[in-house]
Structure 1
Amino acid sequence: MTHSHQAKGSLDPRRWTALAILLTGAFLPPLDFFIVNVALPSIREDFHASASTMQLIISGYATTYAVMLITGGRLGDLYGRRNVFLAGMVAFAAASALCGFAWSPAVLIAGRILQGFAAAIMAPQALASINAIFPEHEKSKALSFYALTFGVASMAGLFLGGTLIALNVFSLGWRSIFLINLPVIAIAAPAALVLLRETRSENARKLDLGGATLIALALFALISPLIEGREHGWPNWSILMLSASVPLLLLFWRYEQKVGAAGGDPIVEPRLLQVPGLKRGLLSALFFYAFAAFWLTFSVYQQGGLGRTPFEAGVAILPAAVGFVLGPFASGSILRLFGRYSAAAGMTLEAAGLFATAALISFGAPEYLFVALFFIGAGQGIALPNLVKTVVARVDPAKSGLASGLVNSMLQIGGALATALIGGLFFSILGSSSDVGSIGHAYSVAAVAIGLCLLVAGWLSADLPFNNGVHR
């Protein structure tokens, strides 16, 4: 039998080598979300596609990924995290190949939907496996590497996308942003087969298909209109779907209670949310990823306001990438200084950086943005591993996949909400103006709104112990 945790005498001697493979699986999903944004103009020109088609290339991936994360995490608990990780990785490679060789917009959209599904199967296993194979005294360091990977992938997507298109590798143009995944997975998948130790829930039964279907429908009804609605002027269907998401979520919750009461194995155990601090931690994750709106608004400011090319815009955010890299390595010192307030300290630093960008742009000093961007990156690099640890470490390792899926789902929902609401605020203020002053003002308001969300996230995460010693 494979186990969901390691006894003290049975630590996996290859766990640190295995971590590199797991981090590859954590790196690819956010990379492929952000890398496409830079390539959209080239894709549109090549296919003579409409703006709505371009939006589907983004939303097809983002929606499927967010909707399937909880189910993907639970699959690892039930059927083995290594098995599910490998299946997701192979499927991600196949979907990437379909995108890279797409001969029409419809095929590209189909490939992106499949990519999102594969990413949702693969990504939760990385965080769940870290929680399962590392002992308590090593988890903080391992989670710091996870946070570093997640953050750098977001940055690298913007920079790497612009670089690949500028270099026009093998005359592939935009197709190279998808095909680059293939050699990476060709190396990582065989290594995973050899190096990863199988872990799963000791009491695994079968997947709660009814619960999986209901949560997928509820999240689709919530997330799809948030991603698509603003682009289409909030049509009636988007309002109806948002309204339907509430009763669907309630129906899902009642169904899970019924399954649990009957002695079944619900996909989300209702009593799991009774773990002290877990609900606050998940709410903190929701507000924390309001930061996703930063990428949208700051990209518009750089390219629309300052007139930078995609490559130049990618280079301009490198200070934030440096902060991301250095932030997790400072987590140990931050932990000693701030203890259980470490995540809040990182979020406060990140919010301060956002407020600084708003001030610098408002006062006409964008040349100093690199300093503020560094602190934004460092703050997120400090906050993310500490936030993840406060949530995942309080859950029984047998439910690591579910906990990972819940955390990632809250991050994705938070990002979708922020992009819709704060992005909507940004474009409402901007209106039809296109001068640098108007775009800068709209960005500054959005940056303050994002910063306030981060302060709320910090308040929610404050005083949450890393491990309350109670596993449910």
Structure 2
Amino acid sequence: MYRKKIILFILLIAAVLSPLDFYIVNLALTAIQQDLHAEPASLQMIVSFYTAAYAVFQITGGRLGDLMGRKRMFLCGLFGFITASLICGCAPDTTVLIAGRVLQGIAGAIMAPQVLAIIQVVYTPEEKIRVMGYYSFTFGLAAVLGQLLGGLLIAMNIAGLGWKVIFLINVPIGIVALIAGLKYLPEHKSEQQGPIDWLGICLLSACLLLVIYPLTCGFDLYWPLRIKVMLGMSIPVLLLFFWYENRLMQRGRTPLIDMRILRYPQLAGGIGTAFLFYTSGIFYLALGLFLQNGLHWQAMQAGLAIIPFGLGFLICSLAAASITRYIGDRILLLGISLYAAGFTLMIAALWQPAGQSGILFYVGLWVAGMGMGFTLSSIVRISLNGIPQAFIGLGSGLINFALQIGSALGVALIGQVFFDVAAGNNYAIAFRETLMVVVVLLLLALVPGYRLVRKQAAVKKGQA
């Protein structure tokens, strides 16, 4: 039992590092912008390229763990994350910082799938219920710590490092987990072996690069021909990827994505819901810039402002299991609705005269956090219910992939709305209009979400 507690401690440290970095960087963008004289497109790339790389290599990371060992790939991913954090913390310009963020995303994606895989091997079915509760809780914790810790570290300006310390703090934490992991983590490989689909990895990565880069930089570069060509090329590359994956299946080889998984409509509904839901990732970037550049708050003040959101996230993540006993899978629709309602309250607050919107704004943050807690704790579980065991790992990867790509595209596309309006120092208006776009997308997410819940009700009825 003592060894299992240590293993859980190691896994949760690793699980919290990647989402923590997402939240903490959003608060540091103003400091990065001032220190490195970064353009808006560079700020977007610092966020979106990390999430894109993290998404692209989720499936690859899981596959490498199958073939080369969970412990080995976990430690490789953790070492890579430590190294990439060091690169980011020493970056002299935005080019190096963006490159470091891409490496962080890749390393995090190699590490993350192994966490769930090791949990499946080490813990009994009864223990997994409690362990998975802790695992979900870490994402809410990351939302709170990312804002508070980011604001505190920047305000303290340790050794004159400024924003760089938010990356360097990962190094000692990661080293502790790395040393403990070498000693305590068990090794395990999947019984099903096969070659790695390297060409599939390259094609999928190229497709996403051809989409993310133009959407992030196209507006600032005034859409030159090369940007349009890149965006147009993403479609044939995607079609080539699907053709190649099907060809591998026909030859009896193992593709990166087994297309047979798309036969399950509940998974397709989950992917669509996850994608639309997580386009709201622009909220974190826009909130930090609005509070610091628009209201001229210090980083620590901005970090404290997110507390209502984080507390709602934490509490509802833990309460989701109990609520599900009463309303079933409809908790997903409740979560999305609360998330949209929270942003709507914040929009209403931003229409109020200055100094009269504080309480309503913070209530909106609280309600939005509740919605995030209910949704993230349920969407993967609901989407994978009824999926054969052979496809569970791939299905989890696809849902996480949809979440991360939704976030990256949200930052790239909706971010343009924010930066275009904020160009005249209209940060309050820019934040309000950004939230309005996000609310519309969340309402759209209710459509596949509703179909997903209905499909799951039919699946459970068939299983009864």
Q: Shorter-normalised TM-score: what interval?
A: 0.7 to 0.9
Distance of 2:147 and 2:281 partners within structure 1: 13
Distance 1:229 1:408, change over 3 A: farther
The Cα shift of 1:394 comes to 4.7
In the alignment, structure 1 residue 459 sits paired with structure 2 residue 447: no
The Cα shift of 1:339 comes to 1.0
AA aligned opposite 2:349? L
In the alignment, structure 1 residue 380 sits paired with structure 2 residue 380: no
Q: Quote the residue 2:263 is aligned against.
A: 274
AA aligned opposite 1:181? N
Distance of 1:282 and 1:366 partners within structure 2: 36
The Cα shift of 1:292 comes to 0.5
In the alignment, structure 1 residue 86 sits paired with structure 2 residue 75: yes
SS at match of 1:463: helix
Distance 1:14 1:390, change over 3 A: farther
From 141, 146, 154, the counterpart of 1:157: 146
Q: Quote the residue 1:370 is aligned against.
A: 362
Equivalent pair of 2:69/2:189 in contact (CA under 8 Å): yes
In the alignment, structure 1 residue 445 sits paired with structure 2 residue 436: yes
Distance of 1:395 and 1:79 partners within structure 2: 25
Distance of 2:118 and 2:386 partners within structure 1: 15
Distance of 1:466 and 1:204 partners within structure 2: 35
Residues 440-449 or 366-375, more deviating = 440-449
Distance of 1:447 and 1:208 partners within structure 2: 36
- Name the Cα RMSD after superposition: 3.0
Distance of 1:13 and 1:353 partners within structure 2: 42
For this pair of structures, how many residues does the alignment match? 458
The Cα shift of 1:184 comes to 0.9
Percent identical: 40
SS at match of 2:454: coil
Instruction: Give me the TM-score of the superposition, normalised by structure 2.
Output: 0.88
In the alignment, structure 1 residue 244 sits paired with structure 2 residue 237: no
Q: Residues 212-253 of structure 1: CA distance to partner in whole angstroms, max 9, x if unpaired?
A: 221121222223333333444444333322322222122111
From 376, 392, 405, the counterpart of 2:397: 405
Where does 1:174-323 land on structure 2 (aligned, <5 Å)? Answer: 174-323=163-312
Q: Residues 318-364 of structure 1: CA distance to partner in whole angstroms, max 9, x if unpaired?
A: 11111111111111221111112222222222222122212222244
AA aligned opposite 1:283? G
Distance of 1:155 and 1:454 partners within structure 2: 25
Distance 1:269 1:75, change over 3 A: same
Q: Quote the residue 2:406 is aligned against.
A: 414
Q: Residues 99-132 of structure 1: CA distance to partner in whole angstroms, max 9, x if unpaired?
A: 2234555443433332222112112222344455
Instruction: Give me the TM-score of the superposition, normalised by structure 1.
Output: 0.86
SS at match of 1:197: coil
Q: Quote the residue 1:5 is aligned against.
A: none
Residues 212-221 or 28-37, more deviating = 28-37
Where does 1:101-116 land on structure 2 (aligned, <5 Å)? Answer: 101-103=90-92, 105-116=94-105
Distance of 2:177 and 2:78 partners within structure 1: 9
AA aligned opposite 1:90? F
SS at match of 1:265: coil
AA aligned opposite 2:83? A
Q: Residues 84-111 of structure 1: CA distance to partner in whole angstroms, max 9, x if unpaired?
A: 1111001111121222234555443433
Residues 218-227 or 442-451, more deviating = 442-451
Distance 1:131 1:389, change over 3 A: farther
SS at match of 2:378: helix
Distance 1:102 1:363, change over 3 A: closer
Equivalent pair of 1:292/1:415 in contact (CA under 8 Å): yes
Distance of 2:388 and 2:187 partners within structure 1: 17
Listed as ranges, the gaps of 5+ residues in structure 2 are none
Distance of 1:97 and 1:66 partners within structure 2: 21
Distance 1:305 1:134, change over 3 A: same
Listed as ranges, the gaps of 5+ residues in structure 1 are 1-11
Distance of 2:207 and 2:409 partners within structure 1: 15
AA aligned opposite 2:381? K
Equivalent pair of 2:27/2:302 in contact (CA under 8 Å): no
The Cα shift of 1:270 comes to 0.9
AA aligned opposite 1:448? V
SS at match of 2:456: coil
The Cα shift of 1:441 comes to 4.3
Distance 1:28 1:362, change over 3 A: same
The Cα shift of 1:163 comes to 1.1
From 28, 45, 51, the counterpart of 1:62: 51
